[in-house]
A and B are shown apart, each in its own frame.
Chain A
Amino acid sequence: DTAVSQTPKYLVTQMGNDKSIKCEQNLGHDTMYWYKQDSKKFLKIMFSYNNKELIINETVPNRFSPKSPDKAHLNLHINSLELGDSAVYFCASSQFPYEQYFGPGTRLTVT
């Protein structure tokens, strides 16, 4: 039974399109995160929600919008996709700070 799941695993789309990535955790954690792993392999935090409240909002284009309908779900919506958005996006969750549990990632390719 997957602890942190993401859909889709792969996403290929054209520039200018709008797409969403969904994340669900069944660990009962209060906090969820979105990370971006770019071509240089750095994992960078984008957003974090704690009990549906936004607690981390890094410098990210406002084309990216997270939405947390409940504490088990955190979705990422991206408007007007650009070539530079191509990356692997990871969702994660934690009960406390520090030890975060990651999903398998979504590889986004913008053509």
Chain B
Amino acid sequence: DQQVKQNSPSLSVQEGRISILNCDYTNSMFDYFLWYKKYPAEGPTFLISISSIKDKNEDGRFTVFLNKSAKHLSLHIVPSQPGDSAVYFCAASVRDDYKLSFGAGTTVTVRA
């Protein structure tokens, strides 16, 4: 039973434009959300996170938005760069729980 869903398996965006990645979750107990980035043949690397007490968190070109009522979060990358081409995983956790539930990932391709 997948509690975290990324319904878009892939996204293609032109360099310099905005990339918007979406993630939905079903478990209302989740209160901490993370995005990970993964290059081929490497492990996922932590990108940005957000607690349920916030609705937005920014870190440079990356912004995560959380809509708790809709059980939806999104990652915005502005502007998109060729090095952003990777698989992005959404993950969620219950407070103080070491267990992360991951989505299936969205492959982003940034076109020059």
Contacts and interface: CB of A to CB of B under 8 A. Distances in A.
Given A41-B105, A42-B2, A43-B89, A98 B100 contact: yes
Q: Dominant SS at the A interface?
A: strand
B45 interface: yes
Interface in B33-80: 34, 36, 41-46, 49
Contacts of A66: none
B45 to A, nearest CB: 7
Find the residue from B43, B87, B96, B97 having the highest chain A CB count within 10 A: B43
A31 B46 contact: no
Contact of B43 (A45, A55, A90, A94): A90
A104 B93 CA distance: 23
Contacts of B87: 41
Contacts of A100: 46, 100
Contact of B34 (A42, A92, A99): A99
Q: Dominant SS at the B interface?
A: loop
Chain B, interface size category, equals 20 to 34
Contacts of B43: 4, 90, 92, 102-105
Interface string A21-65: 000000000010100000011111100101000011000000000
Contacts of B32: 97-98
Given A104-B42, A105-B41, A44 B98 contact: no
Nearest to A4: B43
A104 B99 contact: no
28 contacts: A4-B43, A33-B98, A40-B104, A41-B87, A41-B105, A42-B102, A42-B104, A43-B44, A43-B102, A45-B99, A45-B100, A48-B98, A48-B99, A50-B98, A56-B99, A90-B44, A97-B97, A98-B34, A98-B49, A99-B34, A99-B46, A99-B49, A100-B100, A101-B45, A102-B36, A103-B43, A104-B41, A104-B42
Interface of B: 2, 32, 34, 36, 41-46, 49, 87, 89, 93, 96-100, 102, 104-105
